[in-house]
Structure 1
């Protein structure tokens, strides 16, 4: 088997929420596989710093600062890419936020904000990408879900609802777009060492719960998502569609 199956040379990948954390790790991995990458975020300073870091490593990088939950901003961003002659071959819907609170204490504003950022954004950005991929007859979309879309804990209500919905959205996208040569799949990270989880990692009780419920007996690292992301973005997965691949140290395999 040729490693060229996993090459992304000549491809351009847009990774949402990629100014730090899992998104930046996956963007770097896609770039190392040969892709030109489009970084996305809403914090201009952080986005610029991430782009400069990747450029310093020799990668082709473009910045696209827009709110993935803002329909008008998403459409404008793709129009800008069109005008610049940039075709998105690979889309990674990674942007996400979390608010941990019991449902009876959850403000409806926070509920809507999490659903819009973690689920609706994948529809909005995915729709714009697919409009352009369909005429070309090819494309890759990778939605970043979570083990929380499968296994829930208290205080994860809107996040769990969004990630569970993302799993089904992946299947609907497949049902509608696979015939056009577009493969849509999802990746479900387990508990990862990211900025979003710093408070949880510092909680000895929670840390013990994670390591105790993960067969690998540890948290995952951001770079451990890269192989799966590259596989799903490459020709190696051309007949894989509608699947959720958990990268979770075995958590979803045990009770």
Structure 2
């Protein structure tokens, strides 16, 4: 029960950061994995790395915000798997600016990728998830969904919406044996945060708010995601696991 043998999983944004760590985690646990990225070069490089480690996973060039690309993924799953056991909505972006400095296109882009795309994936793949009989969705949210962490208002709004999306679908789809949970990491070492964390002043501020006095590794978040898709977590749905090194329980 601590394995994912035979499970069929889709992971969006699967070539970098938390997504890449999740693909590797799932492959190690025996799952069949389909992962997406907008970069063909990144997919080829990661597939080669996985093969060298003895794992098989398929990458697909796709933009989560594109209806055409979502339909392409749906068609592949219909033709090759039919049922889908696991959906991890991980793909996301951020544009760090003051609220008054965003263009409408920038605001819409953040909301489209972080909030709308996961909802559309869930709806589109609902028949495949239902066909599984015991499926799980995990949405990768953020500590920014719960309190101000300096990531920008649109990003925080999108992730807060993702939390409520997870809770609402967990109730609506419980009768179909589709569990829906979310994970909210604090700052994690990923390409998305690399530039931010290299700023010494900002890094010191993060560490001062974090009792464990460090940022997370991507593999620490992927382990939580994996647990939420296993039979071991079969009575957990509609919950958000906060992985923040104790940040949210301090008053700093």
TM-score normalised by the shorter chain: which range applies?
over 0.9
Q: Which residue of 2 aligns with 1:45?
A: 41
**In the alignment, which residue of structure 1 is the partner of 2:81?**
85
Name the residue aligned to 1:143: 139
Contact 1:102 1:155 in 2 (8 A): no
CA shift for structure 1 position 155: 5.3
RMSD, aligned α-carbons: 1.3
Aligned to 1:131: 127
Residue 167 (structure 2) aligned to one of 168, 171, 188? 171
TM superposition outliers: structure 1 runs of 4+ over 4 Å: none
Instruction: Give the number of aligned pairs.
Output: 251
- Displacement, 1:80? 2.0
TM-score, with normalisation over the residues of structure 2?
A: 0.96
Contact 1:122/1:143 (8 A) holds in 2: yes
Classify the secondary structure of the residue corresponding to 1:72.
helix
Q: Is 1:240 equivalent to 2:236 in the alignment?
A: yes
TM-score with structure 1 length normalisation? 0.95
Q: Equivalents in 2 of 1:247, 1:117: separation in Å? A: 22
Report the counterpart of residue 176 of structure 2 in structure 1.
Answer: 180
Unaligned runs of 5+ in 1: none
**Matched position secondary structure for 1:6:** coil
> What residue ranges of structure 2 are gaps of 5+ in the alignment?
none
Could you report, residue by residue, the CA deviation over 1:145-181 in whole angstroms, capped at 9, with x for unpaired residues?
0001111144511100000000000011111111111
From 87, 103, 119, the equivalent of 1:107 is 103
**Distance change >3 Å, CA 155–CA 234, structure 1 → 2:** closer
